[in-house]
Amino acid sequence: MRRASVAVRSGGTMDWIGWPALMAAGGTLLLATPVEVFGLQLPEPILPLLLAFAWPLIRPSIVAPTVLFGLGLVLDVLLYQPLGLWPLCLLAPYGVVLAARSFLAGQETRVLFFWFCLTSGFAFLLAYLIVMLTGGRAPSLLALLGQVIPTLLLFPLSNALIQRFDDVDARFR
Q: What is the pLDDT of residue 14?
A: 84
Q: How do residues 73-109 score in pLDDT, each as one tens digit?
A: 999 999 888 999 999 999 999 999 999 999 998 899 9
Q: What is the pLDDT of residue 156?
A: 97
Q: What is the pLDDT of residue 143?
A: 87
Q: pTM of the entire structure? A: 0.87
139 phi and psi, to 5 degrees? -70, 165
Q: Which of 83, 64, 85 is nearest to 147 (CA)?
A: 85
DSSP strand E in the chain: where? 36-37, 40-41
Q: What is the pLDDT of residue 11?
A: 61
Q: What is the pLDDT of residue 94?
A: 97
Which residue numbers in the chain have pLDDT < 70? Answer: 1-11, 167-173
Q: What are the angstrom distances between the C-alpha of 107 and each of 4, 47, 65, 122, 170? A: 35, 22, 23, 21, 16
